Structure 1
Amino acid sequence: MSLKNAEKSFVQELQVLYPQSEAQQIWWLAVENLTGFNLRENANQPFNPDPCMLKMLTGIKKRLLKAEPIQYILNEAWFYDIPFYVDKNVLIPRPETEELVDAVIRDCRKQPAVRILDIGTGSGCIPIILKRKLPEATVTACDISLNALAVARKNAAKYDLDIQFIQLDFLEASNWKQLPQVDVLVSNPPYIPVAGKASMHKNVVDYEPALALFVPDEDPLLFYRKIADAAKSILAPNGRICLEVHENLAEETQQLLEAKGFAASVKTDMQGKQRFVLAGFVNH
């Protein structure tokens, strides 16, 4: 089978799960990962796949048709400007989280030796980019999952970054004493009510870790309330809180933080969705 025929079959079959444009993107990712050859940038150059590669592409297609995300199949997801190792123990990084990281970088540029804590770090994508872009910063990250922290440490080691990773259940207030005082609290915590599962794509619900996605229907702001409470003891007086939030709960999150004694504001993402809440102590 020629590469062109393989591509046509691959993209057509994937359209039961993905729009044509996304199926095409997945094809390009798979070929580039297997061969190192960028089809998009070298469309006019001849490329003849060997039978082994075509067999591997068929295997990838079979897994994709079971709704397994391409990032888990390839163990790679790009975030910001670098690739990260990912597997079923961590969420696949999202573009909106890049905007959260951007906001922190802009906020911290005038304070090189800033101290940052990422709560619920998963793959480590947030602290790793922050440490790369703010090399003088002291960066700490925590997560309840030992398996997620193993992924985060693997990614930090790949880029030779000095980041402290701490395993703890952040929802348990007695654990906060293990955390350092910091100038910035950043978090993309679980924020999807369990009831939201019904409307989500199989590739998220069936494969990404529920622990990192969902919160109880009756307490969707659980993590934001705990972050606000923890901030009172671990956030420096002029410190800032930078949060990614549920697009339908941004104003409620802002109100929660204000009720806890913070000045808070809602920011939109590039799609115009209310996706971020930034906060600091009122008296500063």
Structure 2
Amino acid sequence: MIIVNTLAKLKTHFNQKIEEIYSSNEANSLFKIFVKEYLNIDAYKIISEPEMRITESEYLRFRKSINELLQHKPYQYILGHTYFLDLKIKIDNNVLIPRPETEQLTQIIIQQNNNKTINNIIDICTGSGCIAIALKKNIPHATVDAIDISIDALKIAEQNAKLNNTQINIINDDILSLKTNLKKTFDIFVSNPPYVTMSEKKNMNKNVILHEPHIALFVQDDDPLVFYNKIIQFFKKYANPNAVLYFEINEVKASQLTSLSQKYNLDIEILKDISNKDRFAIIREL
């Protein structure tokens, strides 16, 4: 029987167990995350206090997480939460794990609008609600609506709103065949819709394919902009004067989205993400 009763031994055990699918750097980063979450200690103590005692119950918790990591389960799902613009966001496999690019998009929206008079915001394909909640936190005078087809995702969004002491209006509907009669117009529209084509699926990591919700990720190759087209139509119908539509986009579809926007006589600006890829679209009336 392996005796893992110190922090140093726990680190060695953890890294050895997951090294078959994670690099040394990845394993070290993951260990720091779990140490912070499970032991409530800072990462520097891994070096400064290697002989710190580990209880059996603490070890068993790590062992369970090791087994889940070996099944390619993302650490955020193992922990049951992540952080988005410093907000704690509950997640499970009914919602996507928020990416840094989505944080960047939300920061752009906040920076461009926090000094303006914004009354109504709508987040389409809200998932965990992270964008809607962050916007409500940073533009507090605005009313924020959040739409998603998945009732399970919206349950998570509701929990996250409560967790972060915010009020957002939840709408269970399909943007591709909207039935809700919205009796207001909006100043800000934002969406991170499904945009990965089925042909791109083969290039994705196992942890995404095996655990994240495909309904929130993939579109058919023969109609990759189906969500963008419908959301632009929605924007045309419900936009206030000077309203703005913000999209996260597939980096290889920027030119197609530009052509689609021009078809609707809209102005479009494409912005790059932190990796210098075409990732965001800002759309307005001409």
Same fold per superposition (TM over 0.5): yes
Tell me the secondary structure at the aligned position of residue 165 of structure 2: coil
Pair 64,42 (structure 1): closer, same or farther in 2 beyond 3 Å: closer
Alpha-carbon shift at residue 45 of structure 1 (Å):
4.3
Partner residue of 1:35? 39
Give distance in 1, aligned partners of 2:100 and 2:138: 17
Q: Of 14, 19, 24, which residue of structure 2 is paired with 1:20?
A: 24
Partner residue of 1:62? 67
**Counterpart mapping for 1:5-16 below 5 A:** 5-16=9-20
Q: Of 194, 197, 202, which residue of structure 2 is paired with 1:198?
A: 202
**Counterpart mapping for 1:83-122 below 5 A:** 83-122=88-127
Is contact 2:188–2:243 with CA below 8 Å preserved after alignment?
Answer: yes
Give distance in 1, aligned partners of 2:24 and 2:144: 40
Give distance in 2, aligned partners of 1:207 and 1:56: 21
Give distance in 1, aligned partners of 2:66 and 2:135: 35
Q: Of 218, 225, 248, which residue of structure 1 is paired with 2:222?
A: 218
Q: Of 145, 162, 170, which residue of structure 2 is paired with 1:165?
A: 170
Task: Please give the per-residue CA displacement for 1:57-107, whole angstroms capped at 9, x wherever unaligned.
Answer: 011101110101111111011111122110010000000001100111011
Give distance in 2, aligned partners of 1:103 and 1:280: 15
Tell me the secondary structure at the aligned position of residue 252 of structure 2: coil
1:183 maps onto 2:187 in alignment: yes
Is contact 1:264–1:280 with CA below 8 Å preserved after alignment?
Answer: yes
Tell me the secondary structure at the aligned position of residue 251 of structure 2: coil
1:265 maps onto 2:269 in alignment: yes
Partner residue of 1:146? 151
Alpha-carbon shift at residue 133 of structure 1 (Å):
1.0
Tell me the secondary structure at the aligned position of residue 178 of structure 1: coil
Is contact 2:118–2:187 with CA below 8 Å preserved after alignment?
Answer: no
Pair 180,22 (structure 1): closer, same or farther in 2 beyond 3 Å: farther
Pair 98,40 (structure 1): closer, same or farther in 2 beyond 3 Å: farther
Give distance in 1, aligned partners of 2:17 and 2:204: 21
Q: Letter of the aligned partner of 2:174 in structure 1?
A: D
Q: Letter of the aligned partner of 2:264 in structure 1?
A: K
Q: Letter of the aligned partner of 1:270 in structure 2?
A: I
The size of the alignment, in residue pairs, is 281
Give distance in 1, aligned partners of 2:61 and 2:183: 45
Partner residue of 2:251? 247
Which structure 1 segments of 5+ residues have no match? none
Task: Please give the per-residue CA displacement for 1:218-243, whole angstroms capped at 9, x wherever unaligned.
Answer: 11111111111111111112100110
Which structure 2 segments of 5+ residues have no match? none
Tell me the secondary structure at the aligned position of residue 249 of structure 1: helix
Partner residue of 1:125? 130
Task: Please give the per-residue CA displacement for 1:25-64, whole angstroms capped at 9, x wherever unaligned.
Answer: 2111112211222224774246322111011101110111
Tell me the secondary structure at the aligned position of residue 248 of structure 1: helix
Higher mean displacement: 74-83 or 17-26 = 17-26
Name the TM-score, length of structure 2 as normaliser.
0.94
